[in-house]
Structure 1
Amino acid sequence: MSLDIRSMWNFRDPEASEATFRAAMEGASDDDRFILQTQIARTYGLRNDFAKAKEELKSLEFGLAKTSPEGQVRHALEWGRAHCSPAHPEDAITDADRQTARDANLRAAEIAKAAGLDALEIDALHMMTMVDSAPEDQILWNERALAAMERSDQPDAKRWEGSLRNNLGYAYRLAGRYDESLIELDKCRAFHAGNGNVYGERVARWMTARTLRDMGRYQEALDIQHALEKEFEADGETDTYVFEELAALYRATGDEDKAKVYDEKQKS
């Protein structure tokens, strides 16, 4: 069978995703079963059970030499993620963990590039920002991933554009390169708007306002956050990140009373 891993994932519900992957293993080829098991390992990592993720991946090592390049790449990617990922508490990641993740991610990127698996190459390069987390290092890895996306004609690779530009804009802000941050975040906003991704477009605007706050352009940032607040309200939703940022902005402008209003809204 031909696997569509992306459509099988529900990242908000790793347990349900595990059930989907296990069901798909019924009648699957050896190679597809191998790939599905790497994704089951990932569901454990997303549930913070890194020991079980590693155990699952270890059980696959005997088949690495026989599996496809995609299987090898996905195994390396998940081995890296099991040691260093956004799900890990920062203080729990050791130097040895980072080195293991570095080796795995670079191996995944190399195999993926050679096999023409552009989206997986991008994923591996993007994971290097978790290993080399200094802002300038994040910029370098994000730029490499973005370059891989731009030279690809594969739809799965092109889908990375929004995430990569968001991450690059974030890294530029951390490095104090604010104008470059705004440029990337506007490209991120345009990408999501062009693809009808309302939530992604809102995140890009939130990130833009966050950069503007660091630049001291408080009123522009307030205007964006209040617009987002109204849009979420119109949808019958709230976003605590918007409230958090409005509290920080009012505090920065010296309006403690309004800051406290949004402090309370975060709690409700």
Structure 2
Amino acid sequence: MTLSQARLDELWDFSDPAGSGARLRRAAEGEDDAAVRAELQTQVARALGLQERFAEADAALDAVAIADDAVAARAALERGRVRNSAGDPDAAIPYFTAALDAASRPDLVFLRVDALHMLAIADAEQADAWTDAAHAALDAVDDPRTLRWRVALHNNTGWRRLDAGRVGDAVTSFELARDAAARWGTPQQVQWADEALAEARFLL
């Protein structure tokens, strides 16, 4: 069995990684399915990483039993996120690449896009290529929750363009992010997209 994104969304509050970590730990402890329990344990590690408790996050990942491809992808993603958050994107890239390889099954496209999105962050020189690959992976998807990735992908592209002084291109990316947020995103994502778009348009 694979952990559903809907269940994970219920457990996560990224504004409160400590509280999320406690919920995820309880969920893992109460989970009978070994593979799902392992996936939940990777998210406990993610919560620790978001608190900058990097050594503890790695230790939590050391304890994860790699039961299947989904667990392997999540574990590699979180190893990479720990290193990226700790300021070492070069060390993160091999883990994100491993996550991409592990998430090759059609039913793991959500994790595959997550890996591509993280590669676009860590591997700045190839960010556009990784982002294009993520959008291509989404072209065959009709699940709204998975398609929500387009919001983050367009948003991140917009900020890269803005940082590079390409204001017009940034506006275009933020417009795409706003459209994606309206179709598949959360109200918070719509608000953030509006704010980013307004900031970029102000600079035109």
TM range (shorter): 0.7 to 0.9
Q: What does 1:21-170 align with in structure 2 at a 5 Å threshold?
A: 21-25=24-28, 26-60=30-64, 63-64=65-66, 67-85=67-85, 88=86, 93=87, 97-134=88-125, 137-170=126-159
SS in 2 for 1:10: coil
Unmatched runs of 5 consecutive residues or more in structure 1: 216-268
Unmatched runs of 5 consecutive residues or more in structure 2: none
Residue 124 of structure 1, CA deviation: 0.6
Which one of the candidate residues 16, 27, 38 is aligned to 1:13?
16
Change (3 A) 1:49 1:108: same
Q: How far apart are the structure 2 equivalents of 1:2 and 1:105?
A: 20
SS in 2 for 1:191: helix
Change (3 A) 1:186 1:28: same
- 2:78 alignment partner AA: E
What is the identity percentage for the equivalent residue pairs of Structure 1 and Structure 2? Answer: 31
Change (3 A) 1:142 1:2: closer
Residue 204 of structure 1, CA deviation: 1.7
Residue 138 of structure 1, CA deviation: 2.7
Q: How far apart are the structure 1 equivalents of 2:196 and 2:26?
A: 39
Residue 195 of structure 1, CA deviation: 5.0
Give the match for residue 177 of structure 2.
188
Could you tell me the TM-score, scaled by structure 2's length? 0.86
Counting matched residue pairs gives 200
Residue 162 of structure 1, CA deviation: 1.3
Decide whether the 8 Å contact of 2:2 with 2:70 is kept in 1.
no
Q: How far apart are the structure 1 equivalents of 2:170 and 2:56?
A: 38
Deviations along 1:192-222, one digit per CA (max 9) or x if unpaired, are: 234574432232222123323443xxxxxxx
CA-atom RMSD in angstroms: 2.2
Change (3 A) 1:195 1:114: closer
Residue 75 of structure 1, CA deviation: 0.4
Decide whether the 8 Å contact of 2:117 with 2:131 is kept in 1.
yes
Residue 33 of structure 1, CA deviation: 1.6
Moved more, 32-41 or 187-196: 187-196
Q: How far apart are the structure 1 equivalents of 2:31 and 2:161?
A: 47
Decide whether the 8 Å contact of 2:178 with 2:194 is kept in 1.
yes
Decide whether the 8 Å contact of 2:92 with 2:122 is kept in 1.
yes
- 2:149 alignment partner AA: W
Residue 8 of structure 1, CA deviation: 1.4
4+ long deviations beyond 4 Å: none
Q: How far apart are the structure 1 equivalents of 2:32 and 2:2?
A: 9
Deviations along 1:137-178, one digit per CA (max 9) or x if unpaired, are: 333322222222223233332121211111111122223333
Q: How far apart are the structure 1 equivalents of 2:63 and 2:50?
A: 19
Residue 105 of structure 1, CA deviation: 0.3
Moved more, 70-79 or 10-19: 10-19
Could you tell me the TM-score, scaled by structure 1's length? 0.67
Change (3 A) 1:9 1:199: closer
* Structure index of larger Rg: 1
Change (3 A) 1:75 1:170: same
